[in-house]
């Protein structure tokens, strides 16, 4: 207790924790850091840049945090952890990096959450606003910590933030000009007690916002409280938001009311789910800058997509290989399969597996039925996936992802597509989803 008394205690080091230390030290705060790992990422940088900041390693519950000035908790650590919960009950303020950011920023904020599509949507919004002449900073869960962005960005006209449910748990002061909840599908069930509990964490993004954007077809993405402008997107021709996808036309069209503004053939990014992502982006842009949104359509059409998100890797002997390593949950893999449906001339093969995070894999069965010729599974929870889908699609199990690539190299013929969309986290065999995606690319190109 003596070592932590009256200190701002950053819990969890890594990239986000270091950004919090830098920010707090600039404010002149007395800072200490706790991490459960003995060799946390960022340890050497902390020692080099902040020799006066003590790093304590070990199980959180051995620390008494009740006399700290403030807890600044990294997103990967649950605030329900007993030591943290005890400190909160004792009246110690608890926040995260987004909360510190929210208290410090003046320019308008467009905030985006959702189980799937967040990174693509914030990236498209950022490119579109830049095309309209705004000085934009895209930050948050997409990879640039918000506090590092705040310290380095100059004269920002609008902030575009990707926010996870974990980040929103410790955010209280964000008053977004436009808040977006794209969708809510089962994810992080190892941290949340139920899908509804997870959905309520996402709902925090709407607190104090001027306008709330949500998917018309997903009741869990809709604000549970009124009192703000509500802007649904999606739906169908009979019931829809202003911007939606018309699937009756070929190619499919993104509509502004009764008028088509672009088609699937106009976009570099593939898949029906990305047309819906574009509809969400246009809803935001029309609210932020009115009819000028049409001047950003060329930038949206030119958007090349993000690495590891239904990313084309190669065509080898007529077989297309697609890297969707960012498919870390069942919903994102279902979206990837549906997005490719109708654009595959031959067979569609799926590689999946990894650490399931307590997910229910049963929705994969309906999604894969009559769409996927065979699934090759690997990793810690491969057997769970096999059990979930074996009744509707052929399944083969291997030990590693490179073995899956090698197996399908011998099976796939010209016109076929191999989709790598794991429906799982990567931590059983890889550093993160990026490492997993790059290893997939290397295996394919090899």
The catalytic residue positions are 118, 141, 188
**Separation CA 352–CA 334 (nearest Å):** 11
**Separation CA 128–CA 296 (nearest Å):** 5
Contacting residues for 15 by C-beta, under 8 A, at least 6 apart: 41, 42, 145
Contacting residues for 57 by C-beta, under 8 A, at least 6 apart: 34, 35, 36, 37, 38, 40
**Separation CA 439–CA 401 (nearest Å):** 9
Whole-angstrom distance between the N-terminal and C-terminal Cα of the chain? 54
Contacting residues for 86 by C-beta, under 8 A, at least 6 apart: 65, 66
- The DSSP H or E segment spanning 102 is helix 97-102
Residue indicated by tokens 């990793």 = 379
Residue indicated by tokens 């076929």 = 416
- The DSSP H or E segment spanning 197 is helix 195-203
Residue indicated by tokens 């099976």 = 411
Is-contact 102 174, C-beta < 8 A?
yes
CA angle 399, 406, 322 (to 5 degrees): 100
- Of 140, 172, 143, 142, nearest to 159 by C-alpha is 140
């Amino acid at each position: 207790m003596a070592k932590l008394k009256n200190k701002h205690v950053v819990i969890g080091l890594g990239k986000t924790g270091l950004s919090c230390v830098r920010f707090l030290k600039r404010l002149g705060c007395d800072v200490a850091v706790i991490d459960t790992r003995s060799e946390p990422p960022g340890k050497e940088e902390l020692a080099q840049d902040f020799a006066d900041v003590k790093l304590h390693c070990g199980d959180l519950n051995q620390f008494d945090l009740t006399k700290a000035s403030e807890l600044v908790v990294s997103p990967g650590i649950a605030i329900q952890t007993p030591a943290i919960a005890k400190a909160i009950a004792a009246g110690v303020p608890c926040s995260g990096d987004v909360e510190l950011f929210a208290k410090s920023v003046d320019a308008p904020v467009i905030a985006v959450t959702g189980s799937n599509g967040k990174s693509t949507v914030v990236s498209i919004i950022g490119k579109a606003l830049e095309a309209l002449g705004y000085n934009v900073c895209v930050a948050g869960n997409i990879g640039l910590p918000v506090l590092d962005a705040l310290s380095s960005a100059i004269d920002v006209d609008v902030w575009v933030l990707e926010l996870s449910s974990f980040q929103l748990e410790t955010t209280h002061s964000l008053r977004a000009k436009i808040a977006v909840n794209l969708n809510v599908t089962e994810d992080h069930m190892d941290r949340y007690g139920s899908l509804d509990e997870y959905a309520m964490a996402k709902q925090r993004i709407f607190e104090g916002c001027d306008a709330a954007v949500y998917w018309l077809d997903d009741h869990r993405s809709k604000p549970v409280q009124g009192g703000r402008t509500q802007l649904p997107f999606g739906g169908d021709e009979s019931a829809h938001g202003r911007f939606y996808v018309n699937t009756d036309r070929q190619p499919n069209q993104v509509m502004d009311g009764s008028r088509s503004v672009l088609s699937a053939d106009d976009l570099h990014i593939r898949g029906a789910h990305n047309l819906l992502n574009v509809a969400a982006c246009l809803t935001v842009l029309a609210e932020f800058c009115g009819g000028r949104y049409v001047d950003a359509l060329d930038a949206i059409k030119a958007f090349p997509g993000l690495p590891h998100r239904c990313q084309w890797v190669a065509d080898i002997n007529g077989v297309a290989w697609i890297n969707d390593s960012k498919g870390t949950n069942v919903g994102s893999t279902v979206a990837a399969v549906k997005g490719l449906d109708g654009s595959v001339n031959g067979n569609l093969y799926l590689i999946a597996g990894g650490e399931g995070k307590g997910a229910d894999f049963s929705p994969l069965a309906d999604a894969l039925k009559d769409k996927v010729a065979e699934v090759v599974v690997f990793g810690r929870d491969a057997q769970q996936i096999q059990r979930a889908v074996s009744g509707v699609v052929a399944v083969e199990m291997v030990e590693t992802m490179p073995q899956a690539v090698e197996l399908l190299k011998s099976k796939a013929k010209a016109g076929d597509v191999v989709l790598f969309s794991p429906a799982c986290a990567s931590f059983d065999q890889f550093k993160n989803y990026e490492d997993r995606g790059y290893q997939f690319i290397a295996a394919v190109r090899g």
